[in-house]
Structure 1
């Protein structure tokens, strides 16, 4: 059994936070001791109807709850269960509840430092106008509205307006190419597309009017194009300027069933066409409110910024803070800028100080870049308002916890969170009741029966296995869009273990309730029959001087496989025998002899998806002579060419 050392605890929530937190009040209101998380979690998964119904009331969800909160299905315990089958609601009624017309709902800011504040009344008026424009364009409940917009106010308004009238909202980021957009939004045939032809990123203007012209010409079912800002798009479609779209009108909400579709997100798509995941309105609302109110300690008046593009699930997720009467801070642009004196890592931390942020969300890759640049935000900026730092996208290395508490601030709650686009939420995350343990995710999410199964299908502690969820929860997808959507959905998550959600993460649960994510199961290494998570190798390499980035995969070797590590070196640094020896020694010492790569190569670039995730599966495919089925999902697909010839090169 792994030892639990007090030295591994980086932070404990102060008493005032625990006592005044919503999660403590929620537990007490359910008849459970305020600090007894184990009992609270046990109740939340053993009595799902009681838990989710109590959450509805506690969070003051707007709508008609109806009778039974949970209807089980003995024949299909996961896929057949129903939550709130008699309920009717609209997500936006809860997000824009009319309690404080003058309070600031949104702050829009960007890499240039420009900023504007929008009150709740102003946001509601903008949403009402856009909703009127959508209705005038013929959009009705169930129709799709697509957007290709940066993370600015206009995107948020389209999100809220579409949901307000019962339409289904779906998005791509402006940095997606034509093929990537058509592979995603093109699947669902939107009636209206709202796009911005000219954007700015990393200090440079970017004109995407050409790709938008191609998209408009090739997207089936599209009737109208709405353009935000300057720029022209060549199209035969009806085109409306954003400022002319809609008229002033009262904001009316279409109350729909709990399971009505709300928005569509997309899988990474590196092994085929991206899966179009349809999310149910009531499920995602309850999931987001639960996580922000109870787990993320979001309070009225807080200010929350998550650095994200508008295609990633974190955009949809962070909008949920509006339901907590907090201020949503939107940031458009690059988080790190190139200046004449090197990298400028200040933009996000500038906003912490300027906007008095209480919550900041980032990624491990961003943390690594800032740390590598030698930037220490706690010395450069006033971060006294910041209570929580959160991270998602990939596992956070143990050494990054050290950096956070040394370089940012010691009195800070940190939550590494892990879930997915598929559930619009988290399986593992933090809370104001839990300490932060070095290298660990703090707790299993309320309402989700998270476990780790070994190869026998038995639950295990202190050993890696498959992350699963054994009981239903309301934010499971409604379906996948398109032909045989239900069948494809069930095959993806329930084929390995019938009626048990298998998420695809290689994980480990600990006796103290914390957890570790070792990497994606489809990229798990298996030398000598021993499963190894790729994250373990990345965490070690991230600390080695001279390495800018890396990717690791398993290369077939007879009936076995060998570990291959490809490293991108920092400018002015070379991979040599000495560095290769350092890499191997560090992996052997910090992980195990099984983690030591058989071959190490220097490469010019590491492939990432358009959503910013390493693509180990694509690297393995091209390196072993197989085809990558969907290059449009890879942001820098051209770099895969050098991986095709790895086997002919001499490795270190």
Structure 2
């Protein structure tokens, strides 16, 4: 795209939205910037227009859109009743695929819209028969497959609260997330295939079941035909005719709990509501990504990552969700591109890391595959370097722009991204998303332009969390997002907002690990490593690299007499893989004299990260606040060494 297109002349859903605003509300916008400014200035006008134009299924009328305009505590659409699963009842050809599960060996299983609704209805009926009531929790430990989508929508349809992790999660890591929810039903796959190997997950979900203690366990058979006698068979619970009849729920009724790991302790569970998430999903999928009937969205992801929630929501706007189940680079980096070609994918979601792997392998997907149906490549998970755009143009084609987005689990979507009428500038994210009042602030809360600052959101969004699970007082919720800048949402990213309203994301400003978009807490890794007798303490850091890569080193302080040799490194990796997940495996393991802490004993993850990213040590950690200032010297020397090598 060479320049912005007039909004009301564009053929996209966004263009149609602007024409509708002109006819129905007398509003005219010359460009996206004007539309965005209206969307964050007149929040009631914008979000009511999204609901009306896109047909977000509200069961009841509303007298107010935003009754309380404050953060935290904004109250949206009071009195409205709805259900997330209502979107599956939209008009359309029941024979068209709502989902297509694609395995890494190329086999595919389409699920037609009519059959999808039947399975959702049948499993919802089974959940009711098992005693699941409104507000009860249903948990999944599943791969990226149709079963995970069916289970989620069935739970939502009866008013149960959904939560899930990928089937690759170790039992202890999964239990740390799902255990506090006390789910009544646990749904688990007995295995999955990844990188050409069948992974037996029977022992893992058995251990998870013992840790979580659900009343019922449902097994999805992937590797075996039989199911243990003390478990329920997924196939039986989804059999038989049934009509989908979602219950009407309050706008803010909890839909799901998503997990965004902190740097210490148990990962926090983020609670979102049916109504707010519906509005965000319809807006993102239709207006920003231009998904609709005939579109197909593919993402190689996991139910542990928020993009899975976006992916399985594609049927709400009439699009097909293509669920890639397996390694996107097995047996080679063209594997996922072959799936894009075979299934005529129009929108391909990926990470900068996968694009970089394809570049390193010197592959040309555009020559090897028919990608003529592809209209857009959406990239998130880490900052997208300018060179990735050049690679996509040269090796994929100039007909499918690479559109970076950035947001997070906390708001179930993007804060900044692209739009059909906005040009893409390599190395930048095109614009703030509609309805999102994004600014970069300095430590005193002053807006910055063309300077690095904290990403803040200054007006409420319907998809902001209702609460954190188990946080009855709301104090953890306030501390997580609003303590730094009272009344404004601090997201935890360093960004630059340019004078053109584009955005550059420089990485996490906190210590959350963010490998390929899957945010992980360090606590799971520490629990695995620090149980080893040779390890006194561990520190893990994740840093974004200028080339779009991600470096995640693990530093270990050894007990007296221990030596960090290859054998110990192998044991550390095995412990992490077994007790956390393969995603937690570090890129390097290095011995350090000591792990630095605050005077109160908290590991200095953020200061160490900033030192390794080139910050002046004197500006990130006052010596009087560190229990052992000399412990930082190792990281200062390492940062200098890496800078000389760069």
Contact 1:17–1:432, Cα closer than 8 Å, also in 2: no
* Structure 1 residue corresponding to 2:21, chosen from 3, 26, 30: 30
Which structure 1 segments of 5+ residues have no match?
1-9, 339-343, 525-533, 543-548, 556-602, 632-643
Mapped to 2, the partners of 1:460 and 1:202 lie a distance apart of 45
Name 1:519's counterpart in structure 2: 507
Would the alpha carbon gap of residues 434 and 87 (structure 1) be closer, same or farther in structure 2, given more than 3 Å must change? same
Match of 2:310 in 1: 317
Q: Give the structure 1 partner of residue 76 of structure 2.
A: 83
Distance across 2 between alignment mates of 1:436 and 1:649: 37
Residue 173 of structure 1 deviates from its aligned partner by: 0.6
Counterpart of 1:486? Answer: 474
Per the alignment, in what secondary structure is the counterpart of residue 499 of structure 2?
A: coil
The secondary structure found in structure 2 opposite 1:130 is helix
Instruction: Indicate yes or no: 2:51 matched with 1:56.
Output: yes
SS across alignment from 2:152:
helix
Match of 1:538 among 545, 564, 571: 545
Structure 1 residue matching 2:71: 3-state secondary structure: coil
Report the Cα distance in structure 1 between the residues aligned to 2:327 and 2:8, rounded to whole angstroms. 33
Q: Distance in 1 between matches of 2:543 and 2:178?
A: 35
Out of 385, 391, 394, the residue aligned to residue 403 of structure 1 is 391
Give structure 2 stretches of 5+ with no counterpart: 513-540, 557-571, 606-630, 642-646
Match in the other structure for 1:578? none
Taking only aligned residues, the RMSD between alpha carbons, in angstroms, comes to 3.3
Residue 483 (structure 1) shift: 4.1
- Does 1:382 pair with 2:355? no
Task: Quote the offset at 1:272 in angstroms.
Answer: 1.9
Give the superposition deviation at 1:310: 1.3
Q: State the alpha-carbon separation in 2 of the partners of residues 648 and 92 from structure 1.
A: 50
1:354 aligns with 2:342: yes
Q: Structure 1 residue 248: deviation in Å?
A: 2.6
Change in 2 beyond 3 A, CA 1:458/1:649: closer
Query: 2:104 aligned to 107, 111, 114, which one?
Result: 111
- 8 Å CA contact 1:258, 1:282 repeated in 2: yes
Taking the aligned partners of 1:327 and 1:303, their CA distance within structure 2 comes to 5
Find the partner of 2:407 among 419, 429, 444.
Answer: 419
| SS of 1:383 mapped into structure 2 | coil
CA distance in 2 between counterparts of 1:645 and 1:466 reads 25
Equivalent-residue separation in structure 1 for 2:443 and 2:636 (angstroms): 36
Change (3 A) 1:294 1:648: closer
1:12, distance to aligned residue in structure 2 (A): 5.1
How many Å separate the matches in 1 of 2:307 and 2:44?
27
Equivalent-residue separation in structure 2 for 1:450 and 1:29 (angstroms): 26
- The offset of 1:231, in angstroms, is 4.8
Tell me the distance in 2 between the aligned counterparts of 1:473 and 1:611: 34
Q: Contact 1:518/1:535 (CA < 8 Å) preserved in 2?
A: no
| 1:40 positional shift | 1.1
Structure 1 residues 11-50: aligned runs within 5 Å: 19-31=10-22, 32-33=27-28, 35-50=30-45
Whether the 8 Å contact between 1:25 and 1:34 is mirrored in structure 2 is no
Match of 1:264 in 2: 257
Distance 1:169 1:521 in 2: 29
Tell me: CA distance 1:470–1:537, structure 2 relative to 1, closer, same or farther (3 Å).
closer
Distance (Å, rounded) in 1 between the aligned partners of 2:208 and 2:218? 13
Q: Does 1:200 align with 2:201?
A: no
Please state how far the C-alpha of 1:411 moved relative to its aligned partner: 1.8
Number of the residue aligned with 2:569 = none
- Residue 215 of structure 1 and its aligned partner are, at CA, apart by 1.2
| Residues 178, 234 of structure 1: alpha-carbon distance in 2 compared, 3 angstrom cutoff | farther
Q: Distance between the aligned counterparts of 2:602 and 2:377, measured in 1?
A: 36
- The reply on whether 1:470 has 2:462 as its aligned counterpart is no
Task: Please state how far the C-alpha of 1:28 moved relative to its aligned partner.
Answer: 2.3
| Cα pair distance change 1:264/1:200, threshold 3 Å | same
Q: SS where residue 361 of structure 1 aligns?
A: strand
C-alpha contact 1:51 1:447 (8 A) present in aligned 2: yes
2:203 corresponds to: 210
CA positional deviation for 1:621: 10
TM-score (structure 1 length as normaliser): 0.79
Is 1:336 equivalent to 2:359 in the alignment? no
